């Protein structure tokens, strides 16, 4: 697996990142270990988790299952990986977070997220370090941008954690472009450690007109990140829950497509299928290959396979070479 510089830090990570969100929940420990072993054997180094993973999967959970599993796995091999985790997105505990049928009340969760206050982040990180069995993480994200806490408080706290050696680099996730610029200016003004990575939902399909999500990279944010190469784009949900390989889900309007569906998506899917046929691969793998070819801005796709078989199905994307003509057709496709 190729390595890529993370932003302009001088630190190199694998060009594909592995998300551990479901590990310890939907993915049991034996399968999680097989996935982790296969990823490291393929040359992967970049692992991603969060303190809240995966509280919603089990009534009464307070999250942390993923971090605990990684902590057990990484004993004796912590120095082999670049380890990222996140804080701020764990909601205040209430039994009402789970509906009577076991489903999640996401509206209540979003209203009660922990947020990015200084004390909140310091306590959350200490809990993460304890579960992960390490004295530091390489990258620590503000998981959900907190508009209710002064940015100065959050940034000063993150800077203190860098100075204390508990995190190497800060990052941000689910954030609008104007906030990234405000963060940059405050860090410059005060000499605080600035974020080096932004984790957003990003894929081959483009968000439809009128999309208001702060979590999805649009044209403006893509241009901003291309102009500010010190911020590395880490793309979560790069294959949109696998819908590229699922024509039935595309026809019936799978929820993963809600922010993308329309004539532009249909046109891009048609060209994607053509190119996938030309390279003898699946649309899912071809999307990953397209993302790995991107330079404006560069992209680190973050995959989250639930089973070892799903990882085995995606890893061949690393060997797909798209020629200039194919890249131009994929880029130009659209309504």
Please provide the average confidence, as pLDDT, over all residues in the chain. 97
- Rounded to the nearest 5°, which phi and psi values hold at 200? -135, 160
% residues pLDDT > 90 (the chain): 96
Name the phi and psi angles at 299, rounded to 5.
-130, 135
Of the listed 53, 73, 169, 260, which one is catalytic? Answer: 53
Q: Is the pLDDT reported for residue 125 higher than 90?
A: yes
What separation in angstroms does the CA of 268 have from each of 33, 139, 205, 246, 330?
A: 36, 34, 7, 15, 7
pLDDT at 90: 98
Tell me the mean pLDDT in the region 276-287. Answer: 98
Q: Based on the number of CB atoms within 10 Å of its own CB, is 169 exposed (0-12), middle (13-18) or buried (19 or more)?
A: buried
Model confidence at 253, pLDDT cuts 50, 70, 90, reads: confident
Of 50, 12, 61, 5, nearest to 304 by C-alpha is 50
**pLDDT for residue 114:** 97
Integer Cα distance of 19 and 241 in angstroms: 13
For 261-274, b where at least 16 C-beta lie within 10 A, e where not — what string?
eeebbeebbebbee
Nearest-angstrom CA–CA distance, 328 and 312: 28
pLDDT given at position 87: 98
CA atoms within 13 A on the CB side of 59: 8
Identify the residue whose tokens are 């969060």.
50
| 53 is a catalytic site residue | yes
pLDDT above 90 for 210:
no
Matching residue, tokens 């941008």: 145
Task: Please give the domain boundaries of the chain with CATH numbers for all domains.
Answer: 3-241+291-320 (3.20.20.100)
Pick from 5, 12, 16: nearest CA to 42: 16
Q: What is the pLDDT of residue 279?
A: 98
C-alpha to C-alpha distance for 139 and 144, rounded to whole angstroms: 15
Burial class of residue 230 in the structure, from the number of CB atoms within 10 Å of its CB (0-12 exposed, 13-18 middle, 19+ buried): middle
User: Does pLDDT of 254 surpass 90?
Assistant: no
The residue among 224, 116, 124 whose CA lies nearest residue 173 is 116
- Enumerate residues 6+ apart whose C-beta is below 8 A from 237: 201, 202, 203, 256
pTM over 0.85: yes
pLDDT at position 154, please? Answer: 98
Q: How confident is the model at residue 252 (pLDDT cuts 50, 70, 90)?
A: confident
Residue 172 pLDDT? 98
User: How do residues 154-194 score in pLDDT, each as one tens digit?
Assistant: 999 999 999 999 999 999 999 999 999 999 999 999 999 99
Q: For the residues of 5-26, what is the DSSP string, one character each? A: E-TTSS-EEESSEEE-TTBTTT
pLDDT digits (tens, 9 = 90+) for 20-67: 999 999 999 999 999 999 999 999 999 999 999 999 999 999 999 999
Quote the percentage of the chain above a pLDDT of 70: 100
Confidence grade of residue 73 (pLDDT, cut at 50, 70, 90):
very high
**pLDDT at site 251:** 86
For residue range 231-250, list pLDDT tens digits in order. 999 999 999 999 999 998 89
Report the distance separating Cα 260 and Cα 237, nearest Å.
13
């Amino acid at each position: 697996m190729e390595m890529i510089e993370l932003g302009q830090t001088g630190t190199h990570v694998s060009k594909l990142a592995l998300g551990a969100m479901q590990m310890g929940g939907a993915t049991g420990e034996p399968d999680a270990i097989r996935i982790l072993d296969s990823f490291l054997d393929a040359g992967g180094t970049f692992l991603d988790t969060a303190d809240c993973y995966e509280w919603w999967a089990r009534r009464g959970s307070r999250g942390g299952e993923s971090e605990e599993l990684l902590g057990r796995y990484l004993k004796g091999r912590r120095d082999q990986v670049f380890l990222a985790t996140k804080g701020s997105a764990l909601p205040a505990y209430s039994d009402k977070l789970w509906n009577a049928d076991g489903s999640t009340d996401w509206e209540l969760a979003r209203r009660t997220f922990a947020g990015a206050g200084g004390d909140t982040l310091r306590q959350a990180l200490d809990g993460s370090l304890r579960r992960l069995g390490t004295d530091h993480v390489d990258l620590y994200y503000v998981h959900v941008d907190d508009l209710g806490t002064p940015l100065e408080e959050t940034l000063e706290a993150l800077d203190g954690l860098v100075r204390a050696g508990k995190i190497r680099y800060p990052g941000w996730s689910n954030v609008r472009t104007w906030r990234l610029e405000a963060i940059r200016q405050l860090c410059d003004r005060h000499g605080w450690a600035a974020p080096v990575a932004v984790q957003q939902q990003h894929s081959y399909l483009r968000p439809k007109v009128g999309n208001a999500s702060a979590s999805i990279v649009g044209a403006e944010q893509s241009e901003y990140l291309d102009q500010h190469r010190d911020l590395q784009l880490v793309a979560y949900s790069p294959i949109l829950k696998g819908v590229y390989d699922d024509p039935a889900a595309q026809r019936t309007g799978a929820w993963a497509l809600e922010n993308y569906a329309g004539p532009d998506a249909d046109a891009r899917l048609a060209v994607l299928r053509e190119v996938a046929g030309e390279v003898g691969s699946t649309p899912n793998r071809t999307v990953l290959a397209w993302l790995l070819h991107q330079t404006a801005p560069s992209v680190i796709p973050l995959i989250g396979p639930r089973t070892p078989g799903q990882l085995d199905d995606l890893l061949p994307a690393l060997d797909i070479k798209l020629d200039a003509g194919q890249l131009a057709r994929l880029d130009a496709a659209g309504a």
